[in-house]
Structure 1
Amino acid sequence: MNYSNQITKQFLYTICLFFIFIGAVNAQQNNGKIKGTITTSDGEPALGVNIILKNSKYGTVSNEDGSFEFNKVKPNTYTVQVSLTGYETLEQEVTVASNETTALSLQLKVSNKQLKEVIITNSRGKAFPKQSTYVSKMPLKNIENPQVYNVVSSELMKEQAITTYDDALKNVPGIQKLWESTGRGGDGGSYYTLRGFEVQANIVNGLPGLTNGSLDPANVERIEVIKGPSGTLFGSSLVSYGGLINTVTKKPYEGFGGEFSYTAGSFGLNRVTADVNTPLDDNNDILFRVNASYQTENSFQDAGFRTALFFAPSLSYKVNDKLSFLINTEFMQEEKTTPPMLFLGRESQLQYANLDELNYNTHLSFYSNDLTMKNPRFNLQAQMNYKISDQWTSQTTFSRGSSKSDGYYSYIYDNQNGTKEFGLSLTKEQSQTTTTDIQQNFVGDFKIGNMRNRLVAGLDYYAKEVMFGGSGYAWLYNVTAQGAVSYIDPETGIEASPRYPTRSSVDNVLAASGVTNYTSKEATYSAYASDVINITPSLLAMASLRVDYFDTEADVTTDKDDYDQTALSPKFGLLYQPIQDKLAVFANYMNGFRNISPAVTYDEVTEEPTGTKTFKPEHANQLEFGVKANLLADKLNATVSYYDIEVENLVTAALGSVVNTTQGGTARSKGFEFDLNAAPVKGLSIIAGYSYNDSKIVKGDAANSWLETGKRPFWAGPKNLVNLWAAYKFDEGFLENFGIGFGGNYASDNIILDSQVTGKFVLPEYTVINGSIFYSSAKFRAALNINNMANKDYFNGGWSTVNPQKPRNALLSFSYKF
């Protein structure tokens, strides 16, 4: 039985259990109904309010107009409990009779100023989260935080019919995909550029969440893109100098409910998702939620596919008012082919001046469906929260992850010999990356004199082990960008016998490539503290410091490459609110760093190892200032900022060498970002962003394609990026509950190579337009989304790669809430 059939059977079994469970629930004879509305103290509809019937299984959440309902409720007398952070909890007794509807009208009362730190809600029902406990590792309002971050909510992803994590990030200013997920060991996830530096999505709920494959949006509550070097709170192992991507997963909530959805689309896309939440006891102290998905999709090219099964159960347990536990798990089974990317040569003059000369036939994959990579992934996070006092809370977390790569990885690299051919090389690998992270945080909110202090102090232990096994790399054949195949070995000039992209043919070629087998280990021990001080109610200061001790064994079979080093990372911020909770002016200094493991040195002629070389930590320093606004009765949220980042001690390939590395380069990245979330009129929402990035190597070599002084780095991406999404939903009349959405992305020219060695190659600018029409009620949603409506040919890329993107594609989706 092949891998795909196993996944299909496992998923069908899960879905059958799901329907049996739902059918059992619906079969119960619950004859009454409760319908009601909830408003805030100022008379506005209250969205996202938790409503439960105490001591029962019934629970729901209010809609955009503040309405809610309970169907099939057993006749009885219940206590309705309504809760929303920032308001007093409301309770009211209600009697349910058979075959009757009981109507309620409830109004919440403000408990204190926490009201403004919860959410901004537009009239369509889209919520823009304004508070994150992950960005600063403490509860801190966005308008109080001198750091910039952007949020992509699950509601927005649903509206845009997002089926891939990569597409969700198109809603964030200043980030651009460089590489598709390759599946290879160690770093097989997608690569992006953020503020001019490469980054991967490898943090989940503020903890390590590495993957060699793709991430599934089914369990995503929101994505937080935290801008700037963030080594002070998040360390060196998982962040970029441009920022980090934190995936916040869905958590259990009080009451029973869920959603089931199906999406069909172009290129054979079929996607099914299920989300079920239920209490496991009468008091709603033990809550369980499971999110699952199954997706299969072909490539838009002549070969290629991806099949994935995802399952994410989570459990919360409230022991008492002081102690609670939360456990999140994720299981992913994924099989796919390697997405084709053409690597232009980095060691000699380019054979192509531009895309027209390359003449890339993007309908071709140069591959087959017989050569696949499997990327099973497991992630567990356990969290214990204990309220020590009214001022102090203890948070203990444990994270354990495993990500594997099992199969064939290929790359298509320019032969650089004047033939305008690319060599297709492959390896067969079986690798596993295992991570362990333990954190202990103490979070306080207290006063010293008249000054409020919000403090987090923590310890962090992070360990990573990489076990790699497999073949060496072997050349299979040559291809042109138009698909012509030849068998002349680019190294020897001798014509080989024909070979093909099949397992048997590739295995025969790899038999002579040798074997690679090693295990490496590293660990980081950290201590950090961050304090936000209200000097006055409107003036805040943030001071943070982290110390990291990095210990690596590198290759565990020898002590010669063992190494340890210590690094400090400070962070400071100032923020002033001219209008309390409405307008803030901020500035920050942030630091990030990267501990570099020793590298083996080689003889340039024989390429034999000659020893090892150690490096200082790379260091990034950022200065940033800007303005945050929360205006028009919470209907407009905007951030404008300017940043300047400088990274020193960069480690890159040595000049004129393909085997050795060197340290000493400096890169500088300056830029401007604008982010807007607005709901100007009832039914209309707008999300827009613009970013400009000016990146440059300020210290490098005169002729180094990786690090040439004065050139834009080939990982920096486009200088200008624009994102826009606007949606309007009709709330009355013939078109009630119908809506439309429209938007897209613009990217300016992307320089993927520019040096004296190679010349310059530019991927041209592009504009991609997307649209949707939808029907959305309290229980049911149907939508048609069309992406790349103009059928634009466009490319992403970085590090000299040319990466074709999807042509026009359509998705038809249906979902049902219960």
Structure 2
Amino acid sequence: MFRSTLLTALILLTAFVAKTQNTISGNIYTSDGKPAESVQVEIKELHKVITCNAGGNFEFTGLPDGSFHIIASLTGLQTKEQQVSVANHQTAQVNFTLSEDARELQEVMVNSRRSFNNQLLSVGKAPIDPMDLPQSISVIGQASIKEQQAQRLSDVIRNVNGVYLAGARASTQETFYARGYNFSSNNMFKNGSRVNTGSFPEMSSLERVEVLKGSAAILYGNVAPGGIINMVTKQPKFNSGGEVSLRSGSYGLIKPSVDFYGPLSGKMAYRVNGTYEKADSYRDGVSSERFYINPSLLFKFNSRTSLLLQGDYLNHDFTPDFGIGSLADTLIPDVPRSRFMGTNWQYNQAQQATAAATLKHALNDEWNITGNFSYQNYQRDYYGVERIQAKANGDWARPLGKIKNREDYLIANIDVTGKFNSGKIGHTLLAGIDADRYYTTAFTYDIAGKIYDTLNLLNPSKFIQRTDIPVATALTRTATPVNRMGAYVQDLISLSDKLKVLAGVRWSMQQSEAVQTNYLVKDSIGKGKS
């Protein structure tokens, strides 16, 4: 009896939903045939208002049977109205061409922009204003990055209180700290996905940098309590534009950059930005050369669904530089800062490539689903002498070091966000799942810890320095797979406009599979316990 009643109810509900699933969609253009962005479209009888996207598209779904007046309006353009009827699960198409309104253009309009306190940020995942989040959030926008001519991420982070550069190991990478905790690869993100910290991110590709200080474990799982850094790259636009720039500076710095964007059709847009950088250093014999490119495509399938495809590639070759070192671990040697203590052949070669897809779909005006999927490959080959720790008289036995590794990241997460009320209490809900797989391959070499030669920091002519490159024989290759998975729910409970409570819970799982070691010289394999 219960099953029969339930089946009847489902059939009636399905029939009711099908009856009201009419759709009105359309395109809006300006008089020159280009898509009109941000036009307000209203169904007069239902008091429903939406804003068309960058491609000039709009869509109303879930409409009842009937005849409706559709109004399109935007400041500076003539307001137009059309009547359309829909019935029996029908989809109707309505197009507008809006021309300039001389009366409107004669008026002076004063518009305001929302501050970062009221703008939704990627780092929060949910549609919550930063002012309503308990963590402290800092945002450095593109204008600041450009005006300050930021070369490295550390130049941007200087704008954030409480986050600081802790180390730059031979100028090969940057390590940040906040509240006493290290921002390792677990705490560094690009477009919401974890990113390797073994290279210098390209600043000219960024739209903004978001820094969330404090615990973020509910949203991101295995992260240190200090906070996270999320870099948001530039995205395609449906209006054409571009920029070509050239930066030059001291020590032979030259850096040309390009950034072009625009529509490929009414529903597809592109963006390509890239740069080449070459520079020497105040240190003799130190140089750097890097190349970066970041293409992206945006597909607007309709007013509710979009797909963003992004990729980038970075190749950076440079000379590792450990500075001028120390004497007896206590004194800084009195030598010219231009003196290079390394060899004339040491090198660091880093390559990083990523591919990402972001799918967004609005289920209705209040509920949205977002899926992020990305793959990242990082490779590094480093060879040279290590940290400079000399005796009190300046003698330093230069130790050799070689690093060669490869990291492959597969990352995915799906979020559902929505707003609803339970009586007079408002809720902003976030529910999601995420999964990561890291596969790290690393080599060890027979030269580890061996002495290359001896150099006196205070008197370089005291010893004859070697110039040959020692042969480094790989001894082992280790493969380390790590799997992570998590599910989380977070709710911003609005008891009033001034009193709000943020509550959340997360379940996480991390599995470290058995490390496999290949002994290359012996041609054998060893496998540890997971």
Same fold (TM over 0.5): yes
Name the % identity. 22
> Matched residues in 2 for 1:547 and 1:254: separation?
40
> Matched residues in 1 for 2:325 and 2:437: separation?
33
Structure 2 match to 1:262:
246
Q: SS of 1:171's equivalent?
A: coil
> Matched residues in 1 for 2:29 and 2:247: separation?
31
Map 1:482-521 to 2 at 5 A.
482=458, 484=460, 499-500=465-466, 502=467, 505-508=468-471, 510=472, 515-521=475-481
Deviation at 1:55, TM superposition (A): 7.1
Asked if 1:119 is matched to 2:87, the reply is no
From 427, 436, 456, the equivalent of 2:401 is: 427
Q: Is the 8 A contact 2:174 2:197 kept in 1?
A: no
From 196, 205, 228, the equivalent of 2:180 is: 196
Q: SS of 1:300's equivalent?
A: coil
Deviation at 1:368, TM superposition (A): 4.5
> Matched residues in 2 for 1:485 and 1:193: separation?
40
Q: Deviations over 1:303-361 (max 9, x none)?
A: 211111110001110111221101111111111111224676xxxxx835454xx4354
Asked if 1:548 is matched to 2:508, the reply is yes
Residue 310 and residue 129 in structure 1: after superposition, are their counterparts in 2 closer, same or farther (change >3 A)?
A: farther
Residue 389 and residue 525 in structure 1: after superposition, are their counterparts in 2 closer, same or farther (change >3 A)?
A: same
Residue 533 and residue 518 in structure 1: after superposition, are their counterparts in 2 closer, same or farther (change >3 A)?
A: same
- Report which stretch shifted further, 157-166 or 329-338: 157-166
Residue 507 and residue 554 in structure 1: after superposition, are their counterparts in 2 closer, same or farther (change >3 A)?
A: farther
Residue 319 and residue 478 in structure 1: after superposition, are their counterparts in 2 closer, same or farther (change >3 A)?
A: same
Deviation at 1:376, TM superposition (A): 1.2
Q: Deviations over 1:441-462 (max 9, x none)?
A: 1111111111111111111111
Amino acid at match of 1:316: L
Deviation at 1:57, TM superposition (A): 5.1
Q: Is the 8 A contact 2:324 2:339 kept in 1?
A: no
Amino acid at match of 2:321: P
> Matched residues in 2 for 1:182 and 1:523: separation?
31
Structure 1 match to 2:440:
466
Structure 2 match to 1:298:
280
Deviation at 1:480, TM superposition (A): 4.4
What residue ranges of structure 1 are gaps of 5+ in the alignment? 1-50, 62-79, 121-127, 345-349, 488-497, 563-818
> Matched residues in 2 for 1:414 and 1:392: separation?
59
Asked if 1:243 is matched to 2:233, the reply is no
Structure 2 match to 1:217:
203
Deviation at 1:56, TM superposition (A): 4.0
Which structure has more RCO (C-alpha within 8 Å, separation ≥ 6)?
A: 1
Asked if 1:405 is matched to 2:380, the reply is yes
Residue 426 and residue 353 in structure 1: after superposition, are their counterparts in 2 closer, same or farther (change >3 A)?
A: closer
Structure 2 match to 1:390:
365
Deviation at 1:367, TM superposition (A): 2.2
> Matched residues in 2 for 1:486 and 1:286: separation?
66
From 560, 564, 568, the equivalent of 2:528 is: 560
Structure 2 match to 1:647:
none
Residue 320 and residue 103 in structure 1: after superposition, are their counterparts in 2 closer, same or farther (change >3 A)?
A: closer
> Matched residues in 1 for 2:381 and 2:365: separation?
50
Asked if 1:92 is matched to 2:77, the reply is yes
Q: Is the 8 A contact 2:321 2:342 kept in 1?
A: no
> Matched residues in 2 for 1:274 and 1:221: separation?
15
Asked if 1:325 is matched to 2:299, the reply is no
Map 1:519-598 to 2 at 5 A.
519-557=479-517, 558-562=526-530
> Matched residues in 2 for 1:92 and 1:206: separation?
38
Q: SS of 1:302's equivalent?
A: coil
Map 1:107-186 to 2 at 5 A.
119-120=114-115, 128=116, 130-180=118-168, 182=170
Task: Report which of the two structures shows the higher radius of gyration computed on alpha carbons.
Answer: 2
Asked if 1:272 is matched to 2:256, the reply is yes
> Matched residues in 2 for 1:212 and 1:321: separation?
39
> Matched residues in 2 for 1:102 and 1:366: separation?
72
Asked if 1:443 is matched to 2:417, the reply is yes
Number of aligned residue pairs: give it.
441
Residue 232 and residue 267 in structure 1: after superposition, are their counterparts in 2 closer, same or farther (change >3 A)?
A: same
Residue 262 and residue 193 in structure 1: after superposition, are their counterparts in 2 closer, same or farther (change >3 A)?
A: same
Q: SS of 2:235's equivalent?
A: coil
> Matched residues in 2 for 1:410 and 1:105: separation?
70
Amino acid at match of 2:151: T
> Matched residues in 2 for 1:103 and 1:276: separation?
32
From 281, 295, 302, the equivalent of 1:313 is: 295
Q: Is the 8 A contact 1:275 1:290 kept in 2?
A: yes
Q: Deviations over 1:711-754 (max 9, x none)?
A: xxxxxxxxxxxxxxxxxxxxxxxxxxxxxxxxxxxxxxxxxxxx
Q: Is the 8 A contact 1:175 1:194 kept in 2?
A: yes
Q: Deviations over 1:10-55 (max 9, x none)?
A: xxxxxxxxxxxxxxxxxxxxxxxxxxxxxxxxxxxxxxxxx98477
> Matched residues in 2 for 1:54 and 1:133: separation?
35
Amino acid at match of 2:214: G
Structure 2 match to 1:477:
453
> Matched residues in 2 for 1:410 and 1:55: separation?
64
Deviation at 1:222, TM superposition (A): 0.7
Residue 461 and residue 470 in structure 1: after superposition, are their counterparts in 2 closer, same or farther (change >3 A)?
A: same
Deviation at 1:426, TM superposition (A): 2.6
Amino acid at match of 1:507: P
Deviation at 1:92, TM superposition (A): 1.0
Residue 174 and residue 554 in structure 1: after superposition, are their counterparts in 2 closer, same or farther (change >3 A)?
A: farther
Q: Is the 8 A contact 1:82 1:91 kept in 2?
A: no
Deviation at 1:134, TM superposition (A): 2.1
> Matched residues in 1 for 2:507 and 2:462: separation?
55
Deviation at 1:479, TM superposition (A): 3.6
Amino acid at match of 2:386: Y
> Matched residues in 1 for 2:343 and 2:384: separation?
12
Q: SS of 1:119's equivalent?
A: coil
Deviation at 1:193, TM superposition (A): 2.0
Q: Is the 8 A contact 2:236 2:271 kept in 1?
A: yes
Residue 405 and residue 182 in structure 1: after superposition, are their counterparts in 2 closer, same or farther (change >3 A)?
A: farther
> Matched residues in 1 for 2:35 and 2:369: separation?
31
Q: Is the 8 A contact 1:82 1:89 kept in 2?
A: no
Q: SS of 1:280's equivalent?
A: strand
Q: Is the 8 A contact 1:57 1:279 kept in 2?
A: no
Q: Is the 8 A contact 2:35 2:56 kept in 1?
A: no
Asked if 1:381 is matched to 2:356, the reply is yes
Structure 2 match to 1:741:
none
Residue 309 and residue 543 in structure 1: after superposition, are their counterparts in 2 closer, same or farther (change >3 A)?
A: same
Amino acid at match of 2:469: V
Q: Is the 8 A contact 2:394 2:458 kept in 1?
A: no
Q: Is the 8 A contact 1:274 1:293 kept in 2?
A: yes
RMSD: 3.3
Q: Is the 8 A contact 1:338 1:372 kept in 2?
A: yes
Residue 104 and residue 90 in structure 1: after superposition, are their counterparts in 2 closer, same or farther (change >3 A)?
A: closer
> Matched residues in 2 for 1:245 and 1:322: separation?
29
Residue 482 and residue 445 in structure 1: after superposition, are their counterparts in 2 closer, same or farther (change >3 A)?
A: farther
